[in-house]
Amino acid sequence: MNCILELKNVGFVYGRGTPFEKRAVDNVNLTINEGELIGVIGHTGSGKSTLMQMLNGLIRPSDGQVLLGGKDIWAEPKKIREVRFRVGMVFQYPEYQLFEETVYKDICFGPQNRGLSGKELDEAVRKAADFTGLKPELLEKSPFDLSGGEKRRAAIAGVIAMNPEVLVLDEPTAGLDPMGREVLLSQIVRYHKERHNTVLLVSHTMEDVARVADRVLVMNRGRLSMFAPTKEVFSHADELEKSGLKVPQITKIMQDLRRQGFDVPEGVLTVDEAFEVLAPILKKEGKLW
């Protein structure tokens, strides 16, 4: 597998030299491979947002290097915009960045900055809108007339339309209703599968991360506390709790069952998976027909 992003001893300090000095990220080393879907979890203030903003050069690390495709992104600070097109970033509550007269024009903003025009641009916009499930008739509306969920989709489409190699989503489902979360999440997965892009998903919902991520990155107090395949991370319930996090409920239930002596595997992440495991046991005991 090709490594696309690499962080070497990356650290960041806010307000260096003032009474408000705060170390947000401390000595992080990691590599991310092309085509992976990475879940990023961590307590509020653990430094995950800062870390994400360093990936596309919005924040310049105080220490260390960020390598994109093997090249230090800060080697030529004047060309940092190129990096931002290659690593797309969707912020928390991205709906507040909409500004154009129509949704279509707003989605155009990113790809236009990248230099797309004419048919190419139109295609990029319509594809992005389709990926996020934005109905074509909404494209001609003003972004301020959309509902909250639709605004969110429009904003995400605005980033996807730039066709980035890496897509970073900072809590894309925050504040949406359960149905909206579900749909948006599956659309992200679909996008990932169809484009074979690298996706980083920051989330507070362990169930979401457990369901979709290949690997999970855990941040705690500015440090990288774990970075391993999803099953492995969620079998370390104690360690996660130390970071102020929890494993998904179903994982917790299965772990408790295991402790009670039932023969179930560790690191069960979804309800479906749990059903597969539990059904034979219940059948054997004659409690399920």
Partner 1 sequence: MVRDVSFGQYFPGKSLIHRLDPRAKLLIFIAYIVIIFCTFNFAALAVTTAFTALFLVLSKIPFKFYFKSLKVVIFIVIFTSLLNLFYGSGEALWQWWIFRITWEGIQRAIFVTVRIICLMLASSCLTFTTSPTELTDALERLMRPLKVIHFPVHEIAMMMSLALRFVPTLLEETDKIMQAQKARGADMESGNLVKRVKALIPILIPLFVSAFRRAYDVATAMECRCYRGGAGRTRMKQIHMGPRDVSALVVTALVIAGVILCNIFVTGVF
Binding residues vs partner 1 (CB under 8 A): 17, 19, 53, 56, 58, 81, 84-85, 88-89, 91, 94, 96-99, 109-110, 113-114, 144, 158-159, 162
Q: How far is the CB of 16 from partner 1 (least distance, A)?
A: 11
CA dihedral 9, 11, 17, 20 (to 10 degrees): -150
Give the nearer residue to partner 1 in terms of CB position, either 96 or 275: 96
Closest to partner 1 by CB, 88 or 222: 88
* Residue located via tokens 């998904």: 248
Residue 169 or residue 206: which is nearer to partner 1 going by CB?
169
Q: Please, which residue, 65 or 112, has the CB nearer to partner 1?
A: 112
Q: Nearer to partner 1 by C-beta: 38 or 90?
A: 90
Residues in contact with 122: Cβ distance below 8 Å, sequence separation at least 6, in sequence order: none
Of 41 and 168, which CB lies nearer to partner 1 in the complex structure? 168
- What's phi and psi for 152, nearest 5 deg? -55, -45
CB of 60 to partner 1, least distance (A): 11
Cα angle: 198, vertex 199, 203; to 5 degrees:
160
CB of 266 to partner 1, least distance (A): 39
In whole angstroms, the minimum distance from the beta carbon of 88 to partner 1 comes to 7
Instruction: For the CB of residue 27, give the shortest distance to partner 1 in the complex, in Å.
Output: 24
> Could you report how far apart the first and last alpha carbons of the chain are, in Å?
45
Write down the least CB distance from residue 66 to partner 1, Å: 15
Rg (alpha carbons) of the chain, rounded to whole number:
21
By beta-carbon proximity to partner 1, the closer residue of 9 and 147 is 147
Give all strands of the β-sheet with 71-72 in edge-to-edge order: 22-33, 3-14, 63-68, 71-72
Measured N-to-C along each axis, helices 148-160 and 103-114 cross at an angle, to the nearest 10 degrees, of 20
Nearest Cα residue to 254 out of 246, 245, 263: 263
Query: What does residue 128 show for φ and ψ, rounded to 5 degrees?
Result: -65, -40
β strands within the chain, DSSP E: 3-14, 22-33, 37-42, 63-68, 71-72, 87-90, 166-170, 198-202, 215-220, 223-229
Q: Which is nearer to partner 1, 84 or 152 (CB)?
A: 84
What's the min distance (Å) between Cβ of 116 and partner 1? 11
Minimum Å distance from CB 78 to partner 1? Answer: 9
**β-pair partners for 6:** 31, 67
The Cα–Cα gap between 176 and 184 comes to: 9
